[in-house]
Structure 1
Amino acid sequence: MNQVPSVSVVDLPAELPTDVTLLDVREQDEWDAGHAPDAVHIPMGELAARLGELPESEAVYVICRSGGRSARVTQYLNANGWDATNVDGGMQSWAAGSRPMESVSGQEPEVL
């Protein structure tokens, strides 16, 4: 497997720069339960059909639950001209690092 550029949650700035997109590739139920406030949600299975929703000129940080799906998406995006980086440990590390989260239901956000 090719090396996938990656960054740990602790190395991400608390406030992501405005020219960075955080892409959450988890399924809808996972997103609904808890996600980063400014993330863009495109489930991995829908990504190829929805690439137009991603800005091509911005860096993209890709996140899933633990880092597996996002690593595959990072490889795919980089092969197709994006500047993508995998977020190691995914939303589990995001939550463990006490990063802000919100849920669709208004319930206490959690990582499924």
Structure 2
Amino acid sequence: MENVSVDAISSGAKILDVREDYEWEAGHIDGALHIPLDSLPDRLDDLDPDTDLAVICRSGGRSARATAWLESHGYSAVNVTGGMGAWLEAGKPMVSDNGQDPTVV
């Protein structure tokens, strides 16, 4: 499994966020696809096996599990080291669904 830093993600990358709904609502990457880790097996058809995925969670643990699982099913995926915490620290843009300033919970 390959790990990449938030700075290594290109602006056009397809990002898969595997955090829970409440985490997503508090702050996420605009344009990312949200599939909570537990829902991934049921929503595998939502993903294009020919698209490279950058998988992200809060700190990197869930996304590492998701990346390994996706790779075992023939998908191309990399784990984002440090997750959304690293994204926030790097000053990367985020949006929220709750009307408040985006944050990582």
Calculate the TM-score normalised by the size of structure 1.
0.91
Q: Take 2:46 and 2:28, find their aligned partners in 1: how far apart are those partners?
A: 18
- Per-residue deviation at 1:34? 0.1
- Per-residue deviation at 1:10? 1.6
Deviations 1:42-101 (A, max 9, x none): 000000000000111100110000000000000000000000000000000000011110
The gaps in structure 1 that reach 5 residues or longer are: none
1:9 aligns to 2:3 (yes or no):
no
Spell out the pairing of 1:88-107 with structure 2 (5 A cutoff): 88-107=81-100
Indicate the RMSD between aligned Cα atoms, in angstroms.
0.8
- Per-residue deviation at 1:12? 1.7
Which aligned runs of 4 or more in structure 1 are off by greater than 3 angstroms? none
1:25 to 18, 21, 43: 18
The gaps in structure 2 that reach 5 residues or longer are: none
Q: Take 1:38 and 1:106, find their aligned partners in 2: how far apart are those partners?
A: 17
Task: Give % identity.
Answer: 47
Aligned residues: 105
- Per-residue deviation at 1:106? 2.1
The equivalent of 1:38 in structure 2 is 31
Q: Take 1:58 and 1:65, find their aligned partners in 2: how far apart are those partners?
A: 22
The equivalent of 1:77 in structure 2 is 70
- Per-residue deviation at 1:11? 1.6
Calculate the TM-score normalised by the size of structure 2.
0.97
